[in-house]
Chains A and B, each alone.
Chain A
Amino acid sequence: MISVERLVKRFGAFKALDDVSLTVPEGKLMALLGPSGSGKTTLLRCLAGLDHADSGDIRLDGVDAAALRAKDRRVGFVFQHYALFRHMTVADNVGFGLKVRKGKDRPPAHEIAERVGRLLELVQLAGLAGRYPSQLSGGQRQRVALARALAVEPRLLLLDEPFGALDAQVRKDLRRWLRRLHDDMGLTSVFVTHDQEEALELADEVVVMNKGRIEQIGSPAEIYDHPASPFVFQFLGNANRLDCLVRQGVGAFGGWSFAARGVPDGPGVAFVRPHDVEVGPADGAAMAATLRHAIVLGPTVRLELSLPDQTPFEAELGREAFSRLDVSPGHAVGLTPRRVAAFPTQG
């Protein structure tokens, strides 16, 4: 088990990590999700021993990591730009971690070769053992980097934006493949991403970070359905933000009122996702709105609306539902949010 306890890391006046604590459960795939500058990569580098925290503890299987240098931590690290050794073949790259072992820890050459062969098969690059990194595609390099990290049988696999430098299709394939690999090999992994879709699709557990702090930890469903803060809600997808008033657990915006459990009395913010709103005829709906534009995006239609107080509002619905609605720009429509999340106004 890997645990992080009250980690703080400053770069000059900038607090990259501000009192971060978490536990990486054995055998799970965990995502560190956040915008750039949120501290997620710094946390990953601290786990690997590539950065040293100013205070706080990291424990690897109960051992204080401060006592272990990066080279002795048995942590696999896949760098964002792979950091493959460009003057070594694919096989030499993968075997490096075994070759640099000393004395009796170092497997004999034939065993290294065997292990490298197996790993290359695992990452489906068996035919490319003699190639140099510059002769590979981005996706292939990524898999070499992964094989290299796995060769040392790490107790923890860390991946820094593992799909960041790949194009969309490759990214999708690799994602599924990585998830399978993780399960087949029984790894414990942490990866960093700024892409909420990637985190939600891939991870068992998502850690949402912002400004060096952890905003929320939970399963993808928990995070998506019960965001703990406005930041998490907005970061996980498009949202309409409405300034509202809360009184005794009930929020009000215009003539529309909704449950706002746990939110103290006073000004608050309510979020409604574009696909969580019903669009229908003007009468009988919770809110009135005027259609400004309708943009067809493949199977769905994005409606740009404006509320009576001129607040812009976005809604999304299927092509068929849109044609049944039969409205054009300038028409009045009615909006009924299916789900809403309310928070107190901060500061």
Chain B
Amino acid sequence: MARRIATGDPTPVRWLLITVALGFLAVFLVLPLVAVLAEAFAKGVGAWWVALSGEDSRAAIRLTLIVAAIAVPLNVAFGLCASWAVAKYDFPGKSLLVSLIDLPFSVSPVISGLVWVLLFGAQGLLGPWLQAHDLKVVFAIPGIVLATVFVTFPFVARELIPLMEEQGRDEEEAAIVLGAGGLRTFWSVTLPNVKWGLLYGVLLCNARAMGEFGAVSVVSGHIRGLTNTMPLHVEILYNEYDFVGAFAVASLLALLAVVTLAAKTGLEWWHRDEIAASRRH
């Protein structure tokens, strides 16, 4: 794009603003990331590996993967349902529904954990019933999954709703006039049109599911090797002044974040024509 004369700022101003912006980003975004890696490898790669291959660390990694493997598919299924319902039909109360879907974003993670304790904890509403049947939710894996589902609930729907709304209903109507049924229309018309948006949503949902700390912290009970996810394990090691161990586990999570961002950027870059085409109407 040619630089426009009237809206192009003088070069010194541009450079000053760029410098200030980049400086701010360097201090607040780049340095923390660098610090994680520097601390993780402060005592060499060997120490890093030892910290990661410990039994507790391995258990934490395993649990994190399990939780994400349950929470993400659930929220993907929900996200597809919700965005289809919201984008393809008109019904009263639609905007209220959309606000409610966004609700977990505005709830503190600690409260997202607390609600499950209030429902299923020993003093909770359903606590006595659970105890009578010898079921454990809070301070056990089901509680961790529930808290994670709550926190990551909106990600997929959030990504898909605006995309599907923008694409309208014409193509679905065309498919139906041509004789396609509902499921067929969804699989061969709607889904291909939103696949990159869906992938975005899944990536973000997964990153958050694996990295969630506050909500999980409240319901987990911090039982080493049993109910410790990776972020909780970071906290425990850190509080025990095992900095290399804490940062080693943290470096894995940071890697996850970087890979997520890279994948997101890559997607946007490779499929920008397609994304632009699917958003144009």
Contact = CB atoms under 8 A, between A and B. Distances in A.
B50 interface: no
Nearest to A69: B176
Dominant secondary structure of chain B at its interface with chain A: helix
B178 A81 contact: no
Contacts of A149: 177-178
Interface string B149-172: 000000000000000000000110
Interface residues of B, number: 21
Interface string A146-165: 00110110000000000000
Among B174, B181, B184, B273, find the residue whose CB has the most chain A CB atoms closer than 10 A.
B174
Contacts of A84: 171, 174
Given A86-B193, A86-B277, A100 B180 contact: yes
A22 interface: no
B260 interface: no
Given A83-B170, A85-B175, A86-B193, A134 B277 contact: yes
Interface in A63-103: 69-77, 79, 81, 83-88, 96-97, 100-101
A305 to B, nearest CB: 46
Interface in B159-209: 170-171, 173-181, 184, 188-189, 192-193
Given A81-B170, A86-B278, A100 B177 contact: no
B14 interface: no
Contacts of A75: 177
A96 B178 contact: yes
A72 B281 contact: no
B171 A85 contact: yes
Nearest to B195: A87
Contact of B171 (A49, A70, A83): A83
A50 interface: yes
A48 interface: yes
A50 to B, nearest CB: 5
B101 to A, nearest CB: 26
Contacts of B170: 79, 81, 83
A86 B271 CA distance: 14
B277 A71 contact: no
B190 to A, nearest CB: 10
B189 A85 contact: yes
A77 B179 contact: no
A76 B175 contact: no
A76 B174 CA distance: 9
Among A69, A100, A151, find the residue whose CB has the most chain B CB atoms closer than 10 A.
A100
Contacts of A151: 178
Given A81-B170, A83-B170, A85-B171, A97 B178 contact: yes
Interface string A262-278: 00000000000000000
B177 A96 contact: no
Nearest to B281: A81
Contact of A152 (B173, B179, B189, B192): B179
A332 to B, nearest CB: 53
Interface string B130-164: 00000000000000000000000000000000000
Contact of B173 (A50, A101, A148): A50
Nearest to A133: B277
A25 B85 CA distance: 39
A96 B177 CA distance: 11
Contacts of A88: 192
A173 B237 CA distance: 76
Given A81-B281, A100-B184, A148 B192 contact: no
A73 to B, nearest CB: 8
9 contacts: A50-B173, A50-B177, A71-B180, A81-B281, A83-B170, A84-B171, A87-B278, A97-B179, A100-B178
